[in-house]
Amino acid sequence: MSKRTHHPPPEPGRDRPPARPRLAVLRPASGARAVGLIGMLLTSVAHTHAGERRVVIGHDGRMPLERAAGLGVAAKRFAATGQVECGGVRGVGQVTASADVVTSAAHVFFDEAGRPRAAQGRCVFIVDGPEGRQTIPLTPSAQLCGSTSPYGVSGRHDWGAARLAHPIAGIRAYELGTRVKAGDPIAVVAFEGGRKTVDVCHIRDVVTTETGARELRTDCVGFDGMSGAAYLTLDKTPKVLAVHVGFRSADPGAVMAYSDRHYTFGAAIGQVLRRALASAR
For residue range 149-158, what is the model confidence (pLDDT) as tens digits? Answer: 998 888 899 9
Beta strands in 41-184 (DSSP E): 43-44, 54-55, 63-64, 81-86, 89-95, 101-104, 123-129, 132-145, 160-164, 175-176
d(CA 209, CA 138): 31
pLDDT at 82: 97
d(CA 46, CA 55): 22
Q: Are 107 and 3 in contact (CB under 8 A)?
A: yes
Cβ partners under 8 Å of residue 61, min gap 6: 199, 200, 201, 221
pLDDT at 186: 97
Q: What is the dihedral of CA 9, 262, 43, 97, to 10 degrees?
A: 180
Decide: residue 63, CB within 10 A, 0-12 exposed, 13-18 middle, 19+ buried.
middle
pLDDT at 37: 44
pLDDT at 232: 97
Q: Give every residue of the chain whose pLDDT is below 50, as ranges.
A: 1-37, 50-51
d(CA 52, CA 30): 18
d(CA 101, CA 103): 7
d(CA 275, CA 281): 10
What backbone torsions phi and psi does residue 20 show, to the nearest 5 degrees? -110, 95
Q: Are 225 and 50 in contact (CB under 8 A)?
A: yes
pTM of the predicted structure, to 2 decimals:
0.83
